[in-house]
Structure 1
Amino acid sequence: MTTTTPPGTTTAEGAAMLRALELAARGVRGANPLVGAVLLAPDGAVLGEGYHRGAGTPHAEPAALADARAHGHDPRGTTLVVTLEPCNHTGRTGPCSEAVLAAGGGRVAYAADDVNGPAAGGAQPLEAAGVQCVRGLHAERSRRLNERWTRCLAEQRPFVTLKSAQSLDGRVAASDGSSRWITGDDARADGHRIRALADAVLVGTGTVLADDPRLTARPRSGEDTGPGPGSGPLRVVMGHTPVPADAAIRGEGFLRFITRDVTEVLGELHGRGVRHLLVEGGPRIASAFLRAGVVDEVFSYVAPVLLGDGAPAFPDLGVGTLADAPRWELDDAGGPAVVRLGPDVRLHLRPSSTAP
């Protein structure tokens, strides 16, 4: 991978950017870019660090400034090293450019320009106020970290996470249709954690009729985060079969799309402000999103159980020969790609960067 070191960049800033990239990878993929930041004293000593932990939480820059203050450091005259240009936008949080100015920072070294129109351009007010800005430090690494998020911006669609729980032989239900529970408590709790990070969670009408899910995000205590925007993910159903009037999924925050067209659903959800969609099934819905080529990551929970002639996790993919099979690779950018959860294993996968 090409490494870019702009003229005038110090060794300490280069090391801090590598650390900031490591921190950024810990963040939540999907609705926002992955961003990390490290605050340096004039002598290059690290004063604070932070990363963006998800929508509505402090951005990386204010998090690093807060970390420095918590350790008794004055941020005036410091250098902020950050993996993405500080934003210049007021959303759930204020502009990072203003936070840097308010802290009295003297220099900002960032990796890549922000390509998100409403948030871009934070370097301009910083430079206008006399803050020195250095661009391009490890820019390619930052772009690779956020390439799928960037593509979703360009395509005007949500980032799509696919979640599946299956047996060792790739089945999501036994031959009699029973499927509760293939995985154990730890895996299901982890699945609820992932669900809580999404803007919306989607299933097909077949899953609604078979399982009558609530699709709320519940911690181990079993208490719902609550339905509707702002308190939990939107609950989305797609398909032609009617949803029963007494279905558990109904209520505030429930959306239904009478279509099997994946592109149509993604466009409608994007128009409603959904930037991160979690697809939970059933199998035919999962396969439809995979066939459309819009799945950006997969969390696959595999249980050590064999079901034989049960329902396959991903039917009808249209793969006629091995050469045509879509390839996936382990994704450890945001943490371990393989995690043991009680008796089960979770795989975190991304589309392969190489051809089959």
Structure 2
Amino acid sequence: MSGPGVPAASVADVEVAAMRRALELARRGPEHDVNPRVGCVLLRDGVVVGEGWHRGAGTPHAEVAALADARGRGEPTAGATAVVTLEPCDHTGRTGPCSLALLEAGVARVVVSVTDPNPVAAGGAARLRAAGVDVVTGVLDDEGRAVLGAWVATVERARPFVTLKTATSLDGRVAAPDGSSRWITSAVARRHAHELRAEVDAIVVGTGTALRDDPSLTARDAAGGLVAHQPLRVVVGRRAVPDAARLRGPGGELVELRTHDPAAVLEALGARGVRTVLVEGGPTLAAAFLRAGLVDEVHAYVAPVLLGAGAPAVADLGVATLGDAVRLRPTSVLPLGPDVLVVATPVPRAPLTVPPHEEV
């Protein structure tokens, strides 16, 4: 078995090359699907005899697609090596177990990038080994996890992956004292933020933001048009969204969740098949997710502007002393015109106490 991102010693160069090809194939799968993006390449005597990738829920898995491709080419599969980006599943859902499909095809060796963290589907490697198939896992693991994206974190944490987005002045304000907030960041930063929206399954704001700012929460292209994928627009809180609100206009489905509990929000969205959540505001909602320890990544757009007063990006976190601060570990810094995007992950810590009955 190999370490993260490093080919296993027992893996041939041709198999590593096949894994890179399988990762390319996996990226062809749908980004917004309840199932992971998986690719598979079949080798016989070092030659590719079949390729496949998962095209979405209810369609053949990558291994089955690759086997079908080999049959279509008139290539035998007995004794072949299957190079696959995710451990073959061992359960029956809309399709049958890939482990059994590989056994029935006579595959003699399976090279895997990422072992399946899903306890419902895992076990394919064990079944294959028990049947005498040579199985190697962990090949290009880092690359494999990168292609799987938030799906891995969603399965491992049993909830959607949460990104907190802020757009602030240099002194951490999201609005001036009179409430004006358009625009603190530049057009370049806002364009990038729309690209981020287009990548997620749901955007979440509190009722305070929805009523005060009347946002549309859509993902738009450079020309201002709606992109093909529109995330769910989720409003959290007790107050209703007005009938004339822009949130009821063109864009993703509007979901109103009458709760102040971030865990309940994620549970409700997870039940809808949501894997990635973008929390956009306001300050009280951001603080609630941070206090609950339910933020996986922070995207902080910072403009070279000083306001000196006005609403902060994050409300009271219950931090009484510097030692209690929520610490972040930066992973990247990206200049965007005059602005800067800082991407960071919270350092794990115990959740902070959440004050009851807050209006978000």
Q: TM-score range by the shorter chain?
A: 0.7 to 0.9
Counterpart of 2:247 in structure 1: which amino acid?
A: I
Shift of 1:213: 1.0
Partner of 1:343: 338
Q: Distance in 1 between matches of 2:52 and 2:190?
A: 29
Is contact 2:7–2:140 with CA below 8 Å preserved after alignment? Answer: no
Counterpart of 1:161 in structure 2: which amino acid?
A: T
Aligned 1:132-211 pairs, distance under 5 A: 132-137=133-138, 150=152, 152-153=154-155, 155-211=157-213
Q: Distance in 2 between matches of 1:319 and 1:22?
A: 43
Counterpart of 1:86 in structure 2: which amino acid?
A: P
Partner of 2:216: 214
Scaled by the length of structure 2, what TM-score is found?
0.71
1:303 paired with 2:298, answer: no
Larger Rg belongs to: 2
CA offset digits 1:147-200 (Å, max 9, x no partner): 985564355321111111111221111122111111122221221121122221
Is contact 1:204–1:238 with CA below 8 Å preserved after alignment? Answer: yes
SS of 1:194's partner is helix
Partner of 1:242: 240
Mark the runs of 5 or more structure 2 residues left unpaired by the alignment: 351-360
RMSD of aligned residue pairs (Cα, Å): 4.9
Counterpart of 1:328 in structure 2: which amino acid?
A: L
CA offset digits 1:103-146 (Å, max 9, x no partner): 99763211443122454345578779x99441333597589868
SS of 1:242's partner is coil
Shift of 1:89: 7.3
SS of 1:172's partner is coil
Counterpart of 1:236 in structure 2: which amino acid?
A: V
Question: Which sits farther off after the overlay, 322-331 or 204-213?
Answer: 322-331
SS of 1:311's partner is coil
Is contact 2:42–2:49 with CA below 8 Å preserved after alignment? Answer: yes
SS of 1:196's partner is helix
Partner of 1:282: 282
Partner of 2:10: 9
- Go from structure 1 to structure 2 and tell me whether the alpha carbon gap of 1:309 and 1:102 turns closer, same or farther (over 3 Å shift): farther
Q: Distance in 1 between matches of 2:11 and 2:333?
A: 36
Q: Distance in 2 between matches of 1:343 and 1:217?
A: 22
SS of 1:195's partner is helix
Partner of 2:260: 260
CA offset digits 1:53-72 (Å, max 9, x no partner): x977x99958x97xx99xx9
Shift of 1:292: 0.6
Shift of 1:244: 1.5
1:108 paired with 2:106, answer: no
Q: Distance in 2 between matches of 1:44 and 1:354?
A: 48
- Go from structure 1 to structure 2 and tell me whether the alpha carbon gap of 1:36 and 1:271 turns closer, same or farther (over 3 Å shift): closer
Question: Which sits farther off after the overlay, 107-116 or 163-172?
Answer: 107-116
Aligned residues: 341
Counterpart of 1:287 in structure 2: which amino acid?
A: A
Counterpart of 1:284 in structure 2: which amino acid?
A: T
Partner of 1:334: none
Is contact 2:84–2:113 with CA below 8 Å preserved after alignment? Answer: yes
Q: Distance in 2 between matches of 1:59 and 1:323?
A: 51
Mark the runs of 5 or more structure 1 residues left unpaired by the alignment: 332-336
Q: Distance in 2 between matches of 1:287 and 1:55?
A: 35
SS of 2:246's partner is coil
Q: Distance in 1 between matches of 2:323 and 2:315?
A: 18
Q: Distance in 2 between matches of 1:131 and 1:221?
A: 57
Partner of 1:327: 327
Is contact 1:30–1:160 with CA below 8 Å preserved after alignment? Answer: no
- Go from structure 1 to structure 2 and tell me whether the alpha carbon gap of 1:192 and 1:98 turns closer, same or farther (over 3 Å shift): farther
- Taking only the aligned residue pairs, the percentage that are identical comes to 49
- Go from structure 1 to structure 2 and tell me whether the alpha carbon gap of 1:123 and 1:341 turns closer, same or farther (over 3 Å shift): same
Shift of 1:316: 0.7
Q: Distance in 1 between matches of 2:200 and 2:149?
A: 19
Is contact 1:80–1:108 with CA below 8 Å preserved after alignment? Answer: yes
Is contact 1:204–1:282 with CA below 8 Å preserved after alignment? Answer: yes
Question: Which sits farther off after the overlay, 233-242 or 138-147?
Answer: 138-147
Shift of 1:299: 1.4
Is contact 1:201–1:279 with CA below 8 Å preserved after alignment? Answer: yes
Q: Distance in 1 between matches of 2:169 and 2:50?
A: 44
Is contact 1:21–1:142 with CA below 8 Å preserved after alignment? Answer: no
